[in-house]
């Protein structure tokens, strides 16, 4: 088999064929995927039935795995999977659909806001890899937005204005936007804001992109409402239809995206009646891009 | 009385010519403007050099006016304009530009969120009438979205789902989203949430529309995060470019819009330039939903 990469959107996103992710990959295959990621930012692999161990093994080709915050917030005996896997599902550890007012469900609704995974961590995340085990019959698409193309399309004056801006990110901001404030006191430390540059440069391609997420609560040095209004404008710009691809899931799709160059969000589905079981691995970021505030 | 309307957008908004809004209007003209509003929802009148008194008189032709006192954070004595005006400027009462961290400025940035005027009142507004006395040279556009066209474009399942829904609106919610939370107890007391139907029917045109605003904090009977996520999806649907008219202001434009059929927002502009806009608001006459028992 030879790996083939077919672009499916004018600006980003490609489908990869000729590869079986369940088995160990050659160095060349890993390099080909990384090159594809640098170019397309989102890669789709169809028909990849994976066990959790296989998904983790494939993911480790690209770096260390990061535990998800939602996993960390769930009691160990109530987790459906090991902590290196993010449980992106609407079922509990006994495989029952979560109740409408279940706090885990309400927390997870934050994924319907545009975001980049782990931007609330000082080192962010490199790739996320999402495997679809069970999907609903309608809805539940994942949409991606190309933050490089969005950056390129900004007016020069805006590029100059934002070049050195630093944003504060916290999971608490995106959840507050949805009216979810039910964080256990033990997790307060994990939701303390971290700082990232608004304009990031990809370490391999050198392309600039907007590092946006609904986790942003402020811009350092700006009055908060002015920062929020401006970030909303930038988000709206960056998620215009020409920068967006909607992935319509098939069972056993594995989709991999670069959090440094894209945002994504989940769309609504009938989660009271249909199961959606997706499992995410996340490659930990390796460096900070902004000086963090000194803890008070 | 025939009035001349030139469409400004494929689905709504028109430019109205041949009318001098500084003078008292005959009943027939008022009726013709109302009929045009039923059809176009947003009307633009160019070159209307109004005094505040003339704007009040013109506005009163369409109904009783709302007073701004007792809503938001404006206080008597700090106001630049007559209490029937909403001061949509970046000026203080001495006509100085508000500082970057001025409380009123930060509060008013909430106008950059899509909204419908006075949806936070038990009987929400009918028309808003906005006079551009000094306009921003770049930015500061006012954008309008046609909530009738947005409703019509929903799929049937969504129409059926939203038909019975009732939302809670409050200024507290739209300000919270912007991170403006230093409201006093007295201010909060004036911002008690009110209920509005999510789907409303226009009394003039009989058309249904989405009654959306960033003032919405929840849907009655829904968990709050689910309600907010759904309202965001509807707002995104309703503000697609095909439903939006962006008005680029010229000095002395007078804009009139129907809050029962549109949302609007202001776009960013250079805050070091004066932008002096004055709004009068014609009160509505009927509620859209039964309020919660106290």
pLDDT of A188 higher than 90: no
Q: What percent of chain A has pLDDT over 70?
A: 96
Band of pLDDT at residue A296, cut at 50, 70 and 90: very low
pLDDT of B73 higher than 90: no
Q: Does B93 touch chain A (CB under 8 A)?
A: no
Spatial distance between the Cα atoms of A214 and A232, rounded to a whole number of angstroms = 9
What are the pLDDT digits (tens) for A143-167?
999 999 999 999 999 999 999 999 9
Sign of the C-alpha dihedral computed for residues B128, B129, B132 and B138 taken in this order = positive
Question: A184: alpha, beta or left, given left = phi > 0 and alpha = psi -120 to 50?
Answer: beta
pLDDT of A170 higher than 90: yes
What are the pLDDT digits (tens) for A211-246?
999 999 999 999 999 999 999 999 999 999 999 999
Spatial distance between the Cα atoms of A145 and A42, rounded to a whole number of angstroms = 10
Whether the CB-CB separation of B257 and B118 falls below 8 Å is answered with no
- Phi, psi (degrees; rounded to nearest 5) at A161: -65, -40
What are the pLDDT digits (tens) for A276-293?
999 999 999 988 888 887
Q: Return the closest-CA partner of residue B265 out of B286, B243, B283.
A: B243
Which ipTM score applies to this complex?
Answer: 0.95
pTM over 0.80: yes
Sign of the C-alpha dihedral computed for residues A141, A147, A150 and A152 taken in this order = negative
pLDDT of B85 higher than 60: yes
Whether the CB-CB separation of B106 and B180 falls below 8 Å is answered with yes
Query: Least CB-CB distance to A109: which of B101, B229, B267?
Result: B229
Query: Least CB-CB distance to B106: which of A101, A106, A226?
Result: A226
pLDDT of B112 higher than 80: yes
Mutate which of A104, A107, A229, A241 to disrupt the B interface (most B C-beta within 10 Å)?
A229
Mutate which of B145, B170, B171, B179 to disrupt the A interface (most A C-beta within 10 Å)?
B179
Q: Return the closest-CA partner of residue B87 out of B99, B100, B101, B73.
A: B73
Residue contact A179–B225, C-beta within 8 A = yes
């Amino acid at each position: 088999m030879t790996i083939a990469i077919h672009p499916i959107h004018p600006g980003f996103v490609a489908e990869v064929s000729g590869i079986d992710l369940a088995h160990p990959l050659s160095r060349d295959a890993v390099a080909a995927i990384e090159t594809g990621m640098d170019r397309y930012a989102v890669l789709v692999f169809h028909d990849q039935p994976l066990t959790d161990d296989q998904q983790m093994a494939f993911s480790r080709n690209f770096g260390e795995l990061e535990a998800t915050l939602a996993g960390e917030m769930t009691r160990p005996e109530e987790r459906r999977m090991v902590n290196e896997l993010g449980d992106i599902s609407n079922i509990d550890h006994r495989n029952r659909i979560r109740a409408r007012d279940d706090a885990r469900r309400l927390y997870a609704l934050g994924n319907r806001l545009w975001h980049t995974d782990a931007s609330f961590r000082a080192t962010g995340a490199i790739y996320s890899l999402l495997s679809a085990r069970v999907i609903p019959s309608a809805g539940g698409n994942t949409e991606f937005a190309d933050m490089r193309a969005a950056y390129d399309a900004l007016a020069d004056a805006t590029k100059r204005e934002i070049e050195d801006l630093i944003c504060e990110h916290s999971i608490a901001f995106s959840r507050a936007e949805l009216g979810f404030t039910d964080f256990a006191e033990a997790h307060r430390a994990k939701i303390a804001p971290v700082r990232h540059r608004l304009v990031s440069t990809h370490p391999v391609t050198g392309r600039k992109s907007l590092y946006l997420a609904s986790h942003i609560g402020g811009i350092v040095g700006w009055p908060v409402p002015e920062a929020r209004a401006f970030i909303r404008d930038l988000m709206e710009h960056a998620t215009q239809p020409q920068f967006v691809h909607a992935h319509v899931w098939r069972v056993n799709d594995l989709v991999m995206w670069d959090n440094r160059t894209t945002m994504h969000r989940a769309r609504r589905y009938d989660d009271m009646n249909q199961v959606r079981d997706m499992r995410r691995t996340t490659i930990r970021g390796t460096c900070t891009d902004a000086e963090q505030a000194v803890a008070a | 009385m025939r009035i001349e309307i030139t469409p400004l957008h494929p689905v709504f908004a028109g430019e109205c010519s041949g009318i001098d809004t500084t003078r008292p209007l005959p009943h027939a003209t008022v009726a013709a403007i109302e009929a045009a509003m039923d059809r176009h929802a947003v009307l633009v009148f160019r070159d209307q050099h109004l005094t505040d008194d003339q704007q009040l008189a013109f506005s009163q032709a369409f109904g009783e006016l709302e007073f701004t006192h007792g809503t938001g954070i404006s206080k008597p004595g700090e106001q630049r304009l007559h209490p029937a005006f909403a001061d949509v400027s970046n000026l203080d009462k001495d006509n100085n530009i508000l500082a970057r961290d001025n409380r009123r400025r930060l509060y008013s940035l909430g106008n950059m969120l899509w909204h419908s005027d006075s949806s936070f009142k038990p009987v929400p507004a009918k028309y808003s009438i906005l006079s551009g006395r000094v306009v921003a040279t770049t930015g500061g556009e006012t954008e309008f979205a046609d909530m009738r066209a947005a409703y019509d474009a929903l799929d049937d399942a969504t129409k059926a789902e939203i038909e019975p829904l009732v939302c809670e609106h409050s200024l507290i919610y739209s300000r919270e989203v912007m991170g403006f939370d230093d409201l006093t107890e007295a201010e909060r007391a004036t911002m008690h949430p009110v209920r509005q139907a999510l789907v409303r029917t226009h009394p003039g045109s009989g058309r249904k529309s989405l009654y959306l605003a960033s003032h919405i904090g929840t849907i009655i009977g829904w968990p709050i995060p689910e309600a907010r996520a759904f309202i965001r999806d509807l707002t995104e649907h309703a503000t697609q470019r095909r439903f939006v008219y962006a008005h680029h202001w010229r000095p002395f434009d007078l804009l009139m819009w129907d809050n029962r059929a549109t949302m609007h927002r202001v776009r960013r502009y250079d805050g070091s330039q004066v932008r002096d806009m004055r709004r009068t608001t014609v009160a509505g006459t009927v509620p859209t939903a039964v309020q919660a028992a106290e």
